[in-house]
Each structure stands twice: as structure tokens, then as C-alpha cells.
A and B are shown apart, each in its own frame.
Chain A
């Protein structure tokens, strides 16, 4: 390395040699990953055992906490009627 090499290396090293990204970059990566690869569907979505034997469309029932419990399902149904 001669004087010019040293000068170029120093100029770059002094300015950017210790540069580090902010922690928010990793947080943004994690957010992007989560949006690209959503978590696997909850167990109730594809498991008929979680659905009550009722002619209702599953979509009406599934989002409620009552999946799997007839009693809670009736309670949710009541809430829906009130609403």
C-alpha cells in the first residue's frame, strides 16, 4: 500500500468504517416477514370437530371465542341477536 492507498482507505474508513444500522431495521424486517408469511391457520379453521353441528356458515361462528363449546356458542349467538 502506498500513500494514495492509505489516503483512500482512511477516507472511507473514517467516514463509514463504524457505521451501523439502527435497530428499527430488524424490527421492520420482522414485520415484513410476518406479513409475507402469516402464521399457520389456527387449529379450528380446518378441523370440523371444532364446529358445532349446525347449518350456520362456519364463517359466522369461527371468529368467536365459543368455537368448541356449545354453551359459549349459544351465548355468542345471543350476543349476535342483541347486536
Chain B
């Protein structure tokens, strides 16, 4: 699991969780420092709403504190945090009204940072890929985000989602195939052909 590098010695998650159980909020700060970025990124890539992703990040760490006595101390806390973030992100997606989807899309476009690297065409292709990912069933989107954005292995994703590794592999395969199909449909219209195997 990814964690942010730091000059401080890396205290095992189990030790920090044990300290959390005693109400030590400094342990919460240590865990937040370690996991805030990947958890936020994951929630953001699924919800595509920075405000929602921040709310989800906040909720994850409040739950970490309030559920500390139920969290294993013999394993990293990353999978648990990812699981909570994904569940909250999926709930957020499922409960969102259609009007707010359209609104957030507009806001996202207005607030998207200007990019100086890459050609306009590359940016357009990347936007198309992200749009295509958004149209996939949520379980496939989640696997794609964890695999390609977070760089997690199939085994790690299976552990987070609490499903067999074969299920993760299958979701990734079908998601990838659907993306290939959607991008192939789009390419001829653009007059550009990329070799997507």
C-alpha cells in the first residue's frame, strides 16, 4: 500500500491504532499524514467532486477513531481506509441527483486547472478516457481507479473490496474491454487511430 514518505521513523499502523484506542489524537494525526493523499485521490477520482472527496476523507478518519477498537492491529490500516472511502464514494454517487451531476460537471470544467504540458490533442484524448471511465459500472470504475491511479495489485484490491482476486481481475478485464470499445468508436470520428490492444 502506498504511503507518503517522511523523515520520521515509520511507526507501524498497528501501534498507532492501539494508541488511537486510548484516545491519543496524535496517533490520528500520524495516520492522517500517512494516508490523506491516497484516500483523497481515490475518493476524488470516483466522485470527481473535490468537496465530496474532502467530506469523505474527513468521515474516514472520524470513523477510524470511533471504530479503532474494531480495527486489526496486526495489519496496515490502508485497506480499511480505502474500503471506507470507496463505500462512502459509491454511496455519494448513488444518492446524487441528476441535476447535481450536471452541475458538478460544469463546475469541474470551469475550475479545471490550466495545463501547460501536453498537446491539446493529448488532453482531449485523456478527457475522453476519463469520460469513458465514468460511464462504466461503478464496481469497474473502482477497480480501474485503484489499479491505474493508486497502482495497487489485484491482491491488494481484492483485500480492500473483500472480494476474490478473480472478481477483481474480471472487473478489470471487462472495464478495460469496454473502454477499448468506446475509445475505438470515438477514434474514427476524430480521424486519429491509436493502436489499442
Contact = CB atoms under 8 A, between A and B. Distances in A.
A37 B25 CA distance: 11
8 contacts: A4-B196, A7-B126, A12-B130, A12-B144, A17-B41, A19-B50, A22-B54, A33-B25
Interface in A15-58: 15-17, 19-22, 24-26, 28-30, 32-33, 36-37
A72 interface: no
A1 B37 CA distance: 25
Contacts of B130: 11-12, 15
B36 interface: yes
Query: For chain A, what secondary structure do more than half of its interface residues adopt (helix, strand, loop), or is it mixed?
Result: helix
Contact of A4 (B44, B62, B66, B197): B197
Ordered nearest first, which 4 A-B pairs have the shortest CB separation?
A: A11-B129, A11-B126, A12-B149, A21-B40
A8 to B, nearest CB: 5
B180 A33 contact: no
A38 to B, nearest CB: 12
A9 interface: yes
The bracket for how many chain A residues form the interface is: 20 to 34
Contacts of B104: none
B81 interface: no
B177 to A, nearest CB: 10
Contacts of B54: 21-22, 24-25
A20 B129 contact: no
Contact of A3 (B29, B37, B197): B197
Interface string B6-33: 0000000000000000010100110010
B115 to A, nearest CB: 8
A32 B126 contact: no
Contact of A14 (B28, B118, B179): B118
Interface in B124-150: 125-127, 129-130, 133, 144-145, 148-149
B110 interface: no
Contacts of A17: 41, 149
Nearest to B180: A4
Interface in B143-194: 144-145, 148-149, 176, 179-180, 183, 194
